[in-house]
Amino acid sequence: MVATGAFYTGEYRNLLAEYGYDKDEIENRVQETWERLFSDKYPETQIYFSVGDDLGYMLDTGNDDVRTEGMSYGMMMAVQMDKKDIFDRLWNWSMKYMYMEEGENAGYFAWSCATDGTKNAYGPAPDGEEYYAMALFFASHRWGDGEGIFNYKKHAQELLHRCIHKGEDGHGYPMWNRDNKLIKFVPGVEFSDPSYHLPHFYELFALWSFEEDREFWKEAAKESRKYIAKAAHPETGLSPEYAFYDGTPNHIRGFGHFFSDSYRVAPNIALDYEWFKDNACPVVVNEKIQAFFADKDPEDYRRYKINGEPFEEKSLHPVGLIATNAVASLSTSGENARKAVELFWNTPVRTGGRRYYDNCLYLFSLLALSGKYKIWMP
């Protein structure tokens, strides 16, 4: 079998161009979207803010805080866009204010801080750590390593090592269950969030982490592909925000429905397929998701049970859902795939108080659909 994923070929599909959109317009859209999120020229869409000479943060405009999710997302966006100054500002802010040096979570990052750097919580969220690690590896490979906190590779390797070995000395908890190789929602619990599963990242961690950890990450990639398939409803393709290790929705915590976190499952599948085209990549999930939303008006997107039954509650992030359904088309084909991309292309970035999450998903989707979300190799 010939390996055809971008990891092997170095070629990334510009699906927007394949669908007939003008290449110059695509490039302009990418650059304009970056500016709208990262420049103070556009306060109605801005989510990145510089602080002083060497710091910066991503603002969750819906909750008025700074989260490891957004900080690590911003770093990934910056390395893909070759914006080293902004990458370093975000990483410096993360290390200065979010990194925890004591307590049971020492070595992890506090998931939420105020904009002045005060910690709102002393617990971590594993989706931030995995994005930090991947962004740091890419930065190391694209720009080279520096000194101290800017020795990107060193910090990525050490962070991943803590994520799976923490607690072996009796202090704290790992972010992955070491037996089943599945990522946890937070270190101290034994259930997961399907949208946290990034098998395409774990394949790369298996190459670049400390040698002793590489087999774990290789197994984690395999187990996460299986888990994503198990957690998705067999008819609708919808996944719950929280799920037990057997993939069933975790209603105990009240987040066993398809809602904001769940939107990320589709792009995770799509990027995994684009990069590795592993036979176990559950692309059928994305086909079902696109079919489910094909006849729905974005203005009426809702919270859904994973069987598709709608609640009265409207989606908090309809633009984000449009974006993630579109990037699913990297792993699907046909009319639903084309319609999802067309809807995304005709949708602007979001303004207003809830714009942060939508616009993060928007830029990630635009990068992927234009062939600009790349693996940066050593």
Decide if 116 is catalytic: no
What is the rounded average pLDDT of the residues 235-261?
95
Is the pLDDT confidence value at 256 over 80? yes
pLDDT band, residue 253 (cuts 50/70/90):
confident
The Cα 349–Cα 159 span in angstroms is 33
Nearest-angstrom CA–CA distance, 77 and 38 = 10
Provide CATH code, domain 1-46+234-377.
1.50.10.10
The answer to whether 76 touches 135, Cβ cutoff 8 Å, is yes
Could you tell me the CA-to-CA distances from 360 to 36, 201, 209, 364 in Å, in that order? 11, 18, 27, 6
pLDDT per position as a tens digit, 16-29: 999 999 999 999 99
The domain segmentation of the chain, as residue ranges, is 1-46+234-377
What is the per-residue pLDDT for 114? 98
pLDDT reported for residue 259: 97
Catalytic residue among 60, 65, 69, 272: 69
* Rounded CA separation 101/62 (Å): 28
List the one residue out of 163, 141, 160 whose CA is nearest residue 152: 141
- pLDDT score, position 131: 99
DSSP 3-state of 211:
helix
Looking at residues 178-182, what average pLDDT do you find? 98
Within 8 A by CB and 6+ apart from 44, the residues are 351, 352
Judged against a pLDDT cut of 80, whether residue 2 lies above it is answered with no
| 152 membership: H or E segment, kind and range | helix 152-165
User: Which tokens in the block code for residue 258?
Assistant: 């398809």
Q: Torsion over CA of 214, 216, 219 and 224, rounded to 10 degrees? A: -110
Q: Please answer whether residues 249 and 240 qualify as being in contact, where contact means their C-beta atoms are separated by less than 8 angstroms.
A: yes
Residues in the chain: 378
The angle that helices 126-143 and 84-93 make with each other, rounded to 10 degrees, is 140
Query: Region 218-225: what's the mean pLDDT?
Result: 98
Q: Residue 47 has what pLDDT?
A: 98
Residue of 261, 274, 287, 358 marked catalytic: 261
Contact 371, 12 (CB under 8 A): yes
Q: Is 272 a catalytic residue?
A: no
Mean pLDDT of 344-359: 98
Q: Which helix (H) or strand (E) holds 27?
A: helix 23-38
CA dist list (Å): 71 to 57, 65, 371: 6, 11, 23
